[in-house]
Amino acid sequence: MKRYLSWVMAKAGRLPGTKWRLMLLLTLGIWLKSLACVCWDVGSVALLIQRNRLYTLGMDMILAAAMLASVGFYLWRLERKKGVGSVGLGNMCILLAGFGLLLKEYGDWLRIDDFLFILKYVFYLVLTTSFWAVAKRFVKIRFTSLKFLSLFCLELGSIGLTGGWIVLSTFSPTALLIISLFAMIGLVLVFQTIFDLAPVPPESFIRRTDGIQDVFERPLVLNILSLAFVSSAARALTEAVLYIKLESTGIMPVTVLGLVWALFGILGLMMVLVLYHTRYIYTTLSGMLIFGFSVIATGRMALEAHSGPVASGYLMLLLGTHFYLNGYMQLLPRVLSGGIGTRLKKRIMTVSAPLGFVLCGTICLNLKGSVPAYCLMGLGGAIILITLRATALYNQVLFRMLKMRIWRNGPLMIPYARTVSCLNKMLNGSCVDDVIYAL
């Protein structure tokens, strides 16, 4: 904390006026993004449960997969163009939200509740990806970067405050959706102001790099795609089980979901304080294993009649995804050849993650009773096995790159003894070049 405060005071007089305005705009933008995502999530789910429309949950998940696959391609291009196009995608979200709310007001006979529920996945993906694509121009996305850490903590704080405000307020689900719509409008205005202050030169766009995939990298690529598929299915199925429990127990969904997001913000800030003083990159593997066991525990708790244990399991899943799964999925492709990682991200956003929603929808449509809970336990076990296999393959590729002295991508995740011994051998060797490379 002292280091953070001293950094703020030291930078206060050094940043030019434009940089200060950009940082303030990013601060406002991340608050609006959090407000829009949380309010639409709580409002759309509460509306679906209150109307007793969970019998369509399986088909809703499959339709959500189709929309995520179509939007994922444009979001992949958005990241390559450093956020250019985020204003257009934001306007698309505003139009879809406004269109859905108008249909709800004047055409209640339509399946508008299902449409509003499906949009919650689209809005979260579009708004989150758009914001961080824009923020990458001004902030290094690293846990050791204090600018990134500030935005990361502001996001967690905004989510926690929004969740607590929802619990304490008496807003209806429709009112929450309207608040989310206005937050999206504000976020788009923030994006437009940022691009007016700091335009993106066209020559700075990332050019297409195909790369040649090494035969040793193919198993790792398949494991990364499998992990994205299984983790996406696990999150979607956890949400589905929680919503079914909320409907069967008759508990107010606005209160439960608002409390989940409030605790997510509070526990997330506590985890930041703990992880900031540890070697976060080396604890990613253990975090992923805990994430897998939490999914298994959630499936076990789903066999009970109460919704409280499932809600706590959903909270653990959100924390695991936010802190470990996202970081782990960014860490593994770093050992791949140039261009392979970019294409891999495209496949994840357009194929693997949407297929996870398809699997969840198929389970909800065809399997009833306690079977989804057992499926969730199976997905948790699959996450653990794939994580261990992917880490072993990662170390095989990394060991080969270290032996050939072609690794140039920064810090390593070193859970295996063979990689450590290779580095120690270089450090203790007589060749100066090997020592410098290992350092």
39 shares its domain with 185? yes
pLDDT computed for residue 397 by the predictor: 77
pLDDT computed for residue 183 by the predictor: 93
Residue 181: CB atoms within 10 A of its CB come to 20
Q: Which of 145, 172, 198 is the last residue of a domain?
A: 198
Mean pLDDT of the chain: 80
Residue 198 has pLDDT above 80, yes or no: no
Per-residue pLDDT band for 326 (boundaries 50, 70, 90) equals: confident
93 shares its domain with 219? no
| DSSP classification of residue 198 | S
pLDDT computed for residue 159 by the predictor: 93
pLDDT computed for residue 386 by the predictor: 92
pLDDT computed for residue 10 by the predictor: 47
Q: Where are the beta strands (DSSP E) in 153-236?
A: none
Q: Which tokens is 43 given?
A: 């409002």
- Asked whether residue 431 is assigned to any structural domain, the reply reads no
Instruction: Kindly report the CATH number assigned to the domain that includes residue 150.
Output: 1.20.1250
pTM over 0.75: yes
Encode pLDDT of 269-286 as tens digits.
Answer: 988 887 776 655 567 778
pLDDT computed for residue 245 by the predictor: 85
- Asked whether residue 2 is assigned to any structural domain, the reply reads no
| Apex 114 CA angle, 113 and 116, nearest 5 | 65
Residue 58 has pLDDT above 90, yes or no: no
Packing angle, helices 253-275 and 308-320, rounded to 10:
40
Encode pLDDT of 285-303 as tens digits.
Answer: 788 888 889 888 888 888 8
Per-residue pLDDT band for 202 (boundaries 50, 70, 90) equals: low
Please say whether the beta carbons of 134 and 30 come within 8 A.
Answer: no
Question: What is the distance of C-alpha 57 from the center of its chain?
Answer: 22
Q: What mean pLDDT do residues 246-256 have?
A: 83
373 shares its domain with 306? yes
Element containing residue 269 per DSSP (H, E): helix 253-275
Please say whether the beta carbons of 44 and 119 come within 8 A.
Answer: yes
Encode pLDDT of 96-124 as tens digits.
Answer: 888 888 887 776 555 788 889 999 999 99
Encode pLDDT of 359-408 as tens digits.
Answer: 999 988 876 777 788 888 999 999 999 998 888 888 777 777 666 555 55
State the residue range of the domain holding 148: 16-198
Residue 33 has pLDDT above 90, yes or no: yes
Q: How far apart are CA 282 and CA 415, in angstroms?
A: 7
228 shares its domain with 97? no
pLDDT computed for residue 435 by the predictor: 55
Residue 167 has pLDDT above 80, yes or no: yes
Q: Which residues of 351-390 are buried (b: 16+ CB within 10 A; e: fewer)?
A: ebbbbbbbbbbebbeeeeeeebbebbbbbbebbbebbbbb
256 shares its domain with 307? yes
Query: Residue with structure tokens 């996305």?
Result: 141
186 shares its domain with 219? no
Per-residue pLDDT band for 182 (boundaries 50, 70, 90) equals: very high
95 shares its domain with 233? no
| DSSP classification of residue 306 | -
Per-residue pLDDT band for 9 (boundaries 50, 70, 90) equals: very low
Q: How many domains are contained in the chain? A: 2
pLDDT computed for residue 43 by the predictor: 92
Q: Residues near 220 by Cβ (< 8 Å), separated by ≥ 6?
A: 332, 335, 336, 390, 393, 394, 397
Please say whether the beta carbons of 142 and 276 come within 8 A.
Answer: no
Per-residue pLDDT band for 38 (boundaries 50, 70, 90) equals: very high
pLDDT computed for residue 211 by the predictor: 47
Distances (CA, A) of 314 to 76, 302, 304, 310, 395: 27, 11, 15, 6, 31
pLDDT computed for residue 8 by the predictor: 44
Please say whether the beta carbons of 93 and 33 come within 8 A.
Answer: no
Q: Output the DSSP codes for 355-408.
A: HHHHHHHHHHHH--TTHHHHHHHHHHHHHHHHHHHHHHHHHHHHHHHHHHT---
Q: Which of 138, 163, 198 is the last residue of a domain?
A: 198
Can you state the percent helix, strand and coil of the chain, rounding each to 5? Answer: 80, 0, 20
| DSSP classification of residue 305 | S
pLDDT computed for residue 420 by the predictor: 61
Per-residue pLDDT band for 230 (boundaries 50, 70, 90) equals: very high
Q: Which tokens is 182 given?
A: 């206005």
pLDDT computed for residue 203 by the predictor: 47
Higher pLDDT, 113 or 181: 181
